[in-house]
């Protein structure tokens, strides 16, 4: 696939993702985000493989950026899930 084809696929996926996310009710967002951490974990493994391949400097840099972003996504998702579950266990009171 060419660069233009890949870019077109990326833009279409971004639009579809935006449309799907905006249709999700607020009360379902956090549980769905918690479940999506498994997908982000797979992304993290793939980005580590690309960053460690050493085949091209551009691939290494993009792989490293993907590792950083996937790590932030996974950690942030688990922190939000932990806070949500903590709210349910304490009856929703502030600390």
| Residue 17 belongs to a domain | no
Distance CA 30, CA 82 (A): 10
The CA R_g of the chain, rounded to the nearest whole Å, is 17
Is 38 within the bounds of a domain?
yes
pTM above 0.85, yes or no: no
Length of the chain: 95
> How far is the C-alpha of 3 from the C-alpha of 46, rounded, in Å?
21
Domain count, the chain: 1
Would you say residue 16 lies in a domain? no
Task: Give residue 39's domain range.
Answer: 29-89
Averaged pLDDT, groups of 10, the chain, 95 residues long: 85 89 76 72 82 79 86 82 77 56
In-domain check, residue 58: yes
Domain for residue 20, yes or no? no
51 touches 67 (CB < 8 A): yes
What is the pLDDT at residue 30?
65
pLDDT for 83 equals: 81
């Amino acid at each position: 696939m060419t660069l233009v084809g890949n870019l077109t696929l990326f833009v279409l996926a971004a639009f579809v993702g935006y449309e799907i996310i905006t249709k999700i009710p607020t009360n379902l967002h956090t549980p769905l985000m918690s479940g999506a951490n498994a997908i982000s974990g797979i992304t993290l493994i793939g980005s580590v493989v690309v960053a460690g391949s050493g085949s091209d400097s551009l691939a290494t840099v993009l792989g490293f950026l993907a590792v950083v972003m996937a790590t932030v996504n996974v950690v942030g998702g688990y922190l939000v899930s932990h806070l949500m579950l903590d709210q349910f266990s304490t009856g929703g009171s502030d600390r």
